[in-house]
Chains A and B, each alone.
Chain A
Amino acid sequence: MNEEGNKPGQSPEEETMDTRSTAVTRRQFLIGAGAGLVVGAAATAGLQALQPAKPVEQAKPAPPVQQPAQPAPATAIVEPVSGAKLVKLNVNGLDYSLAIEPQTTLIEVLKRDLGLTGTKLGCNGSMCSACTVLVDGVAQNSCSLLAIRESGKKIVTVEGLEQGGKLHPVQEAFWTQMGYQCGFCTPGQIMRAVELLNKTKNPTDAQIMAHMSGNMCKCGAYPNILKAVQAAAKQMA
């Protein structure tokens, strides 16, 4: 990605290449394709992590939807939603209004529409938990949630853990304890551990292992993952 990052308000076109040519330089990489995204006013602060891009994936019919002045009431839908529907999500402290089709999973929204690529898709079937995020504080597999059903929820991804430029204790522990090898399952492991330590001070080893048992690691870094969670628990106790 662009080292400097796009400043909010900067026209995305300035950064986007001429799509008639595939000559690409490193600085022109985008984090996500950014289809159908509108960032609400509340979201403009601290947006460095996000590069709203010119929608490049035109095939998705859903146009960007303007955020209404008032939050939409949680009305029941007695008629089916078959096209895109307005969904409001708070992701890592920022409010988004997004046009989302019913079959879209939360991870697709995070990665494709919001450019939050830290969350990983390992199996798309709830069997590896690489896609774990916090939904209203509860760890869930974002591959198995329909985004449309999570409207109004607070989502935290691995990108949302840092506070004021300081790593979350769990992140720091995964760093110092080498709680990973290839790193692909790591965001899910970290989110799962954050949930545990938010709820349980000083968990036992057995509690940690039971809690983390849905998160698969094919590198077999489990002993160091356990050490990392223990170290973070000490830090957070």
Chain B
Amino acid sequence: MAREKLLGPLGESHARVDAPDKVTGATRYPGDIALPGQLWMKTLYAHRAHARIKRLDVARAEQTEGVVKVFTARDVPINEFGLIAFDAPVLAGDVVRWIGEKVALVVAETEQQARQALDLIEVEYEDLPALTDPREAMKVGAPVIHPHYANNVLKHVPIRKGDVERGFAESDVIVEGAYYTPMQEHAYLQPEAGLAYLDEEGRVTVQVAGQWTHEDQHQIAHALGLPDERVRVIYPAIGGAFGGREDMSVQIILALAVWRLDQMGIHRPVKTIWSREESILGHHKRHQMWIRAKWGAKRDGRLLAAEVEVIADAGPYAYTSTKVLGNAAVTCTGPYFWPHARVDAYAVVTNNIPAGAFRGFGAPQGHFAAEQQMNKLAKRLGMDPVELRLKNVLREGALTTTQTPLPGGVVALPQVVQVCARAAGWKATSTERHVADENLPQGSTSTRQPLATGYGFACAFKNIGFSFGFPEGASAAIELHGGTRVERAVLKIAGAEVGQGGHTVFMQMAAEALGLPLAQIELVASDTATSGDFGSASASRSTFFAGNAIRGTAAAALQKWRDEERPAIAIYRYQPPATENFDAATGRARPNIAYGYVAQVVEVEVDTETGQIRLKRVWCADDVGKAINPQLIEGQIEGGVVQALGYAITENFVTRDGHVLTPYFSNYLIPGVLDVPERIESLILEFPDSEGPWGARGMAEMPFIPLAPAITAAVHDATGVWFDELPLTPWKVWERLHERSYTPHS
């Protein structure tokens, strides 16, 4: 096949530009790259949830055959890192606050030698009390885990709108619930790996899989005490990310090792590859959250007042917790209009694994509570859940709980709700024939296989791009080469290809903006040395920001071309409208520049004897603004559904006292092909966003968000039982169905 096959206009499903290398094995992920003379690095982790380091002796390890050097906290110039706050040590020197805290790095000739030397490092710890329940940790008088955070409260977001007491007083119906959503492991198939060296210009260079080249660069430079431009970050291929590569894993430690060795006169590259266990123990997780909600509504279904408390387990360091918390605070009341709302959301410091970005970024947790509440309310009112949504979804101009309207023109919530319901034949499938409790197997068992089918509905909204005043923008550069006409165009952009097809979309958009066939576009990507800051491949923002950056850059480059510059080179930075942080007292804010909207209907089958749930069919309506590459969008919908299926049913991340009991793929069960629904129907809507390029919104996170509450609604439809905690493992489902020895999550 030839690359010419890729030609075609915007809005068509081009084959991916990375396909030739990915199907032949030619693609290089960080662990696949080797350099002459490379050394291997292995990391010593604390494996203690909270302890003081009393003694650390690396002498024996350093004398081992093949070992070149062992690094500890003393070797880190500025021993701190973090995306939002520099509050985490690169290598712990005095206190370890979670099991994956890094204590020492061994650099040796071979990986085996480095691993063996780890056992010879002597560390003496004094254990400190480990706080692993945020509800305990936030109590006044609890021991303070991190000196930066009094009372262990990392962040409190209050939202105040109207008068909730009045709202409840005027309500005909009150629905209350307490919800729990678990930690989730990203489990990308490519474990963390990287290679560091000094490049030809003497820059400390790290080849790694990340999500934001320039943030990695900045955090490395900060820790090494170097200006940013002395550090270079390159992303070769990235084997999945899903938010899990947004914070630091091997970036700083690789850079530290190669830079310190260089100072010692050892000019050799350093490589590391994490095992699966290291990956699961070593990077952040989705926040576990406890959410209490009290909602009041009129008999006709009009929502009046919501009071919600969100407690998010942040782990010991900030990572991106304050932003995830903000999203949970905004989404825990759902995509609905509320005259009165009071939300208190807390991110709490604990000795669990740090929590951070994961597809949805707080919205899956917030919506799980919101959509459960909504479905329970529909039941209480005897109203169709779809009809109840249509009565209450946010529309153009309506003020959110943060007292500002949703931006971007059309707010397509009614549309996604209706399209999804219609496509799924909702009226026909939604049944009032819930299997009544008395129909469940009585006594111990029955000999039939009582399979019960149910249908569920949920919808969601989520921001696109960074929120709450966080600096936002994206840079690109375009070079136009040729004489009388443009013969080739080079697009330089740092945006990461994490598997979503971002680079293909970037090239499609560049071809469109320049009026060139795709075959004439060359892409130079994901290298801080060749591009300006793009921001991260997260927050469903790549298409939106790349598109706007590419349009601006293309216009500037074409102008220079018309001005007869050869080559015509333009650099441009797209700067979106500013967002606002929450008002400290009321939470009032314009938190975001754009949103995506989604609705889902699911069909499940419940084996009421074993508690096993099978997700049979999913309909997903997603307003993407403009589908640049529809096939890629379908891929994101299907992938989002599969990942959310793991979140809702199969993936059970179990910890005890801060230790992980499920550090392997043999006990952390990601969905396989036999778990996937028989049918996932993608319904792609195109209501243009006024700020989006060609009207495009982001969409990658949306399909994840409503799935879990849609499944619990369907399970309720099938069994008559509400499940307020995830995941719906067979055991948990069985216990609730049979009301045996059931204790809520503690």
Interface on A for B, CB 8 Å cutoff?
A: 1, 16-17, 19-25, 28-33, 53-54, 56-60, 111, 115-125, 127-128, 130, 157-159, 161-162, 167, 171-172, 174-176, 178, 180-187, 190, 209-210, 212-226
Contact status B188-A218, CB under 8 Å? yes
Contact status B638-A130, CB under 8 Å? no
Given A222-B676, A226-B673; A182-B38 close (CB under 8 Å):
no
Tell me, yes or no, whether B535 is within 8 Å of chain A by CB. no
Given A33-B34, A184-B239; A178-B26 close (CB under 8 Å):
no
Tell me, yes or no, whether B666 is within 8 Å of chain A by CB. yes
Task: Report B-chain residues with C-beta under 8 Å of the C-beta of A181.
Answer: 240, 499-501, 635, 639
Task: Report A-chain residues with C-beta under 8 Å of the C-beta of B238.
Answer: 182
Task: Report A-chain residues with C-beta under 8 Å of the C-beta of B188.
Answer: 182, 184, 218
Contact status B240-A184, CB under 8 Å? yes
A124→B16 CA distance, assembly (Å): 29
Ordered by A's residue number, 24 sampled pairs between the chains whose C-beta atoms are within 8 Å are A16-B36, A22-B269, A111-B32, A119-B25, A122-B665, A123-B664, A124-B276, A125-B665, A158-B24, A162-B24, A172-B23, A181-B240, A181-B635, A182-B499, A183-B27, A184-B239, A212-B673, A213-B674, A216-B670, A218-B643, A219-B639, A220-B640, A220-B671, A222-B638
Q: Which residue of B lies closest to A32 (CB)?
A: B34
One of A21, A118, A212, A218 near B24 (C-beta < 8 A):
A118
Contact status B262-A22, CB under 8 Å? yes
One of B20, B240, B268 near A182 (C-beta < 8 A):
B240
Given A158-B24, A178-B632; A209-B674 close (CB under 8 Å):
yes
Q: Which residue of A lies closest to B268 (CB)?
A: A22
Tell me, yes or no, whether B187 is within 8 Å of chain A by CB. yes
Smallest CB–CB gap between B159 and chain A, Å? 33
Contact status B258-A31, CB under 8 Å? no
One of A58, A176, A190, A215 near B109 (C-beta < 8 A):
A58
Q: Which residue of A lies closest to B21 (CB)?
A: A183
Contact status A56-B23, CB under 8 Å? no
Contact status B664-A186, CB under 8 Å? no
Task: Report A-chain residues with C-beta under 8 Å of the C-beta of B599.
Answer: none
Q: Which residues of chain B from 167 to 210 have a CB within 8 Å of any chain A CB? A: 186-191, 197-200, 202, 205
A29→B38 CA distance, assembly (Å): 11
Most buried by B among A21, A30, A183, A212: A183
Contact status A220-B639, CB under 8 Å? yes
Smallest CB–CB gap between B687 and chain A, Å? 25
A219→B36 CA distance, assembly (Å): 33
Contact status A31-B25, CB under 8 Å? no
Task: Report B-chain residues with C-beta under 8 Å of the C-beta of A56.
Answer: 36-38
A218→B547 CA distance, assembly (Å): 27
Task: Report A-chain residues with C-beta under 8 Å of the C-beta of B262.
Answer: 22
Contact status A183-B24, CB under 8 Å? no
Contact status B189-A218, CB under 8 Å? yes
Known A22-B197, A216-B189, A217-B673; 12 more pairs at CB < 8 Å: A24-B269, A28-B35, A57-B109, A125-B666, A178-B19, A180-B23, A183-B27, A184-B29, A218-B240, A222-B638, A223-B680, A224-B635
Contact status A220-B665, CB under 8 Å? no
Task: Report B-chain residues with C-beta under 8 Å of the C-beta of A125.
Answer: 276, 664-666
Smallest CB–CB gap between B563 and chain A, Å? 33
Contact status A219-B16, CB under 8 Å? no
Task: Report B-chain residues with C-beta under 8 Å of the C-beta of A161.
Answer: 24
Tell me, yes or no, whether B66 is within 8 Å of chain A by CB. yes
Task: Report B-chain residues with C-beta under 8 Å of the C-beta of A59.
Answer: 66, 108-110, 113
Smallest CB–CB gap between A208 and chain B, Å? 9
Interface on B for A, CB 8 Å cutoff?
A: 1, 15-16, 18-20, 22-29, 31-38, 66, 108-110, 113, 186-191, 197-200, 202, 205, 237-242, 258, 262, 267-269, 273, 275-276, 498-501, 631-632, 635, 638-643, 664-666, 670-674, 676, 680
A33→B417 CA distance, assembly (Å): 55
One of B16, B24, B198, B672 near A178 (C-beta < 8 A):
B16
Q: Which residue of A lies closest to B261 (CB)?
A: A22
Most buried by A among B190, B262, B670: B190
Most buried by B among A17, A57, A209: A57
Task: Report B-chain residues with C-beta under 8 Å of the C-beta of A171.
Answer: 23-24
Task: Report B-chain residues with C-beta under 8 Å of the C-beta of A25.
Answer: 200
Q: Which residue of A lies closest to B640 (CB)?
A: A220
Task: Report B-chain residues with C-beta under 8 Å of the C-beta of A121.
Answer: 31, 191, 273
Smallest CB–CB gap between B517 and chain A, Å? 19
Contact status A209-B28, CB under 8 Å? no
Given A185-B189, A220-B643; A19-B29 close (CB under 8 Å):
no
Contact status B110-A30, CB under 8 Å? no
Contact status B198-A223, CB under 8 Å? no
A16→B38 CA distance, assembly (Å): 12
A69→B170 CA distance, assembly (Å): 94
A216→B673 CA distance, assembly (Å): 7
Given A17-B36, A58-B109; A223-B638 close (CB under 8 Å):
yes
Q: Which residue of B lies closest to A1 (CB)?
A: B28
Contact status B22-A117, CB under 8 Å? no
Smallest CB–CB gap between B455 and chain A, Å? 21
Contact status B267-A178, CB under 8 Å? no
Task: Report A-chain residues with C-beta under 8 Å of the C-beta of B666.
Answer: 125, 127
One of B26, B35, B635 near A221 (C-beta < 8 A):
B635
A223→B66 CA distance, assembly (Å): 47
Given A178-B632, A223-B638; A30-B35 close (CB under 8 Å):
yes
Contact status A221-B189, CB under 8 Å? no
Given A218-B643, A226-B673; A190-B29 close (CB under 8 Å):
no
